[in-house]
């Protein structure tokens, strides 16, 4: 999520904007459950998730006529939106909400890509309107406009609000880990494909950002490891996934260890003084972070030792180098945006409740872009799950097209160098890490948009002039890279 974009979201979807949730607190609260012995318990019985039809619903029951959407003054194809339960139980009260848009192209109609925002508990409809949907509502705009870089140019797109407690979803949240979340999501998919059976033949892809780095690998694992009877009932053609600025490993890896290098590189943009920079450097040395950085080589020379096996257990509270930077950057610039450090101050937007009925969410009441802290999507705001880096090796081997990890270099919440530390400490396809650093230029339209590296079905793309929300900051480049995941071909004009 991006702080300024909260203020421009869903003027067409009926949002009552409250206080902007604090991103670091949200992530740290959810991830504070990570530690030794906190692996998710196995599901009780996977076969119970084979659904039994108790009501016949048709796509037409969810049809959204674009002409019925307020503020839309440009041509759009019709779409489908509404809510579906997470199981076939006749008494099921938990429902996830979705917005499905068929592709505008013939080739794209053969693919179905699911988008998930993070949080945890933040709405995917925010991503729809500010990143990759056909309707764009950006900072300072008086009304929505058509997004020429919508991902529906390349694929059918399905934006899903989940888990229960997010956005327009219904029911009482009861999750404590990602295995439970993936079970509920799998149950929703069964209900969705019963309503839209023609979509089952399409290639399936998952896309998302931030805490979706936890969601997507667990959901993917749930699908590829489904029981034979489940696969027969729901033969999903899952190909790959991409995650943007995701949570895969501990905050020490993704944030605190590389924070000094980030602060030094961006000192002028952040507005921090030499005293603050020296303080962050001292934390880096005192807490052993410099030893981690020194061991990141290409190819790796061995496993990189991480504190407490890469759990979020700090030697001391003084080791939160990220907090030092955030406090100093906020003091220097009250409009400091952790999601994109180059951003300026946002401008307030407006509220439009009248579209809720058009999207089949009638009389919902106040919609929130992220679940409030007092109503968390995980019980007691704790996600008792192992980090998804533990799932990556097996998923690479089971996904036909592997997967991609994207990173915006201007993101101060989850740092690009942290993701590279994680990759260099990961063993997959018989080897550890990348053999060479990701330095191949990403040339699109004659312009350098970043760098990348692909080895053994894992692709890392680093986007310049982009923060936490790459499709918003670099829309053309993001669409190009998304198409590459779907169709292959040439990722960069600089390569053959």
Quickly state the pLDDT bin for 377 (edges 50, 70, 90): confident
The interaxial angle of helices 321-332 and 274-286, nearest 10 deg, is 170
Q: How confident is the model over 135-149, as pLDDT tens digits?
A: 998 766 778 899 999
- Alpha helices, DSSP H, located in 119-177: 124-127
Q: How confident is the model at residue 249, as a pLDDT? A: 94
Q: Which two tokens stand for residue 69?
A: 């959407």
Question: pLDDT at position 489, please?
Answer: 93
Distance separating alpha carbons of residues 361 and 355, to the nearest angstrom:
8
Question: Whose structure tokens read 């027969």?
Answer: 232
Q: Are 245 and 406 in contact (CB under 8 A)?
A: yes
Sign of the alpha-carbon dihedral angle for 170, 173, 174, 179: positive
DSSP secondary structure string for all residues of 222-277: HHHT--HHHHHHS--EEEEEEEES---S-HIIIIITTHHHHHHHTHHHHT--HHHH
Beta strands in 117-154 (DSSP E): 135-136, 145-146
Burial 215-237 (b: 16+ CB within 10 A, else e): bbbbbbbbbeebeeebeeebebe
Any catalytic annotation for residue 210?
yes
Q: Please name the fold of domain 3-249+351-405.
A: Rossmann fold (3.40.50)
Average pLDDT score over the chain: 86
| pLDDT one-digit tens code per residue, 81-105 | 999 999 999 999 999 999 999 999 9
CA–CA distance, 440 with 492 (Å, rounded to integer): 9
Cα–Cα dist 460/130, whole Å: 23
**Catalytic position from the list 156, 468, 480, 492:** 468
Pick the catalytic residue: 103, 210, 250, 404?
A: 210
Across 426-444, average pLDDT: 97
Q: What are 404's strand-pairing partners?
A: 242, 459
39 is catalytic: no
Give per-residue pLDDT as tens, 234-267: 999 999 999 999 999 999 999 999 999 999 999 9
Can you give the pTM of this predicted structure?
0.89
Most confident of 49-58, 215-224, 372-381: 215-224
Q: Give me the residues paired with residue 129 across strands.
A: none
Give mean pLDDT, residues 465-478.
Answer: 97
- Residue 32 has a pLDDT of 60
What is residue 442's predicted lDDT score, i.e. its pLDDT? 98
pLDDT of residue 219: 98
Residue 411 appears among annotated catalytic residues: yes
| Of 325 and 316, the one with more pLDDT | 325
Q: Residue 41: pLDDT above 70?
A: no
Which of 4, 411, 480, 492 is labelled catalytic?
411
Instruction: Write out pLDDT tens, residues 163-196.
Output: 999 999 999 999 999 999 999 999 999 999 999 9
Extract the tokens encoding 446: 């004659």
Strand partners, 370: 122
**Could you read off the pLDDT of 324-360 as tens digits, one per residue?**
999 999 999 888 999 999 987 754 443 455 555 656 5
- What tens digit of pLDDT does each residue of 410-423 get? 999 999 999 999 99
């Amino acid at each position: 999520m991006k702080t300024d974009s909260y203020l421009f979201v869903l003027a067409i979807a009926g949002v009552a904007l409250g206080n902007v949730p604090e991103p670091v607190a949200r992530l740290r609260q959810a991830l504070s459950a990570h530690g030794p012995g906190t692996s998710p318990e196995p599901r009780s019985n996977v076969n119970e998730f084979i659904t039994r039809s108790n009501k016949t619903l048709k796509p037409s029951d969810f049809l959204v006529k674009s002409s019925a959407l307020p503020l839309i003054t440009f041509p759009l194809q019709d779409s489908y939106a509404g809510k579906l339960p997470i199981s076939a139980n006749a008494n099921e009260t938990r429902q996830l909400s979705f917005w499905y848009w068929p592709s505008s192209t013939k080739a794209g109609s053969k693919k179905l890509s699911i988008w998930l925002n993070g949080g945890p508990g933040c709405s995917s409809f925010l991503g729809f309107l500010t990143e990759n949907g056909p309707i764009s509502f950006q900072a300072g705009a008086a009304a929505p406009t058509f997004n020429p870089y919508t991902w529906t140019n390349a694929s059918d797109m399905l934006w899903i609000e989940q888990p229960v407690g997010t956005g327009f979803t219904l029911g009482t949240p009861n999750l404590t880990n990602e295995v439970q979340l993936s079970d509920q999501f799998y149950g929703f998919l069964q209900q969705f494909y019963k309503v839209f059976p023609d979509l089952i033949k399409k290639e399936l892809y998952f896309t998302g950002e931030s805490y979706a780095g936890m969601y997507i690998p667990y959901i993917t694992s749930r699908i590829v490891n489904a029981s034979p009877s489940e696969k027969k009932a729901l033969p999903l053609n899952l190909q790959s996934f991409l995650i943007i600025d995701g949570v895969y490993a501990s905050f020490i890896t993704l944030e605190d260890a590389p924070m000094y290098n980030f602060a030094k590189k961006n000192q002028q943009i952040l507005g921090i003084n030499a005293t603050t920079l020296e303080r962050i450097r001292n934390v880096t040395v005192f807490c052993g972070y410099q030893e981690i950085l020194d061991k990141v080589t290409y190819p790796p020379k061995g496993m990189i030792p991480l504190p407490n096996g890469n759990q979020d257990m700090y030697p001391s509270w003084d080791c939160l180098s990220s907090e030092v930077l955030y406090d100093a950057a906020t003091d220097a610039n009250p409009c400091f945006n952790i999601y994109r450090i180059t951003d300026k101050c946002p401008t307030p937007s407006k509220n439009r409740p009248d579209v809720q009925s058009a999207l089949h969410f009638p009389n919902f009441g106040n919609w929130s872009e992220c679940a409030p802290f007092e109503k968390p999507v995980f019980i007691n705001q704790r996600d008792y799950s192992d980090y998804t880096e533990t799932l990556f090796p097996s998923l690479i081997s089971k996904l036909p097209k592997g997967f991609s990890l994207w990173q915006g270099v201007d993101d101060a919440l989850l740092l690009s160098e942290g993701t590279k530390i994680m990759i260099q400490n990961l063993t997959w396809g018989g080897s550890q890490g990348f053999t060479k650093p990701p330095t191949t230029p990403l040339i699109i339209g004659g312009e350098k948009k970043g760098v990348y590296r692909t080895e053994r079905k894992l692709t890392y793309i680093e986007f310049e002039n982009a923060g936490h929300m790459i499709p918003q900051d670099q829309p053309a480049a993001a669409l190009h890279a998304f198409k590459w995941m779907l169709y292959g071909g040439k990722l960069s004009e600089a390569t053959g």
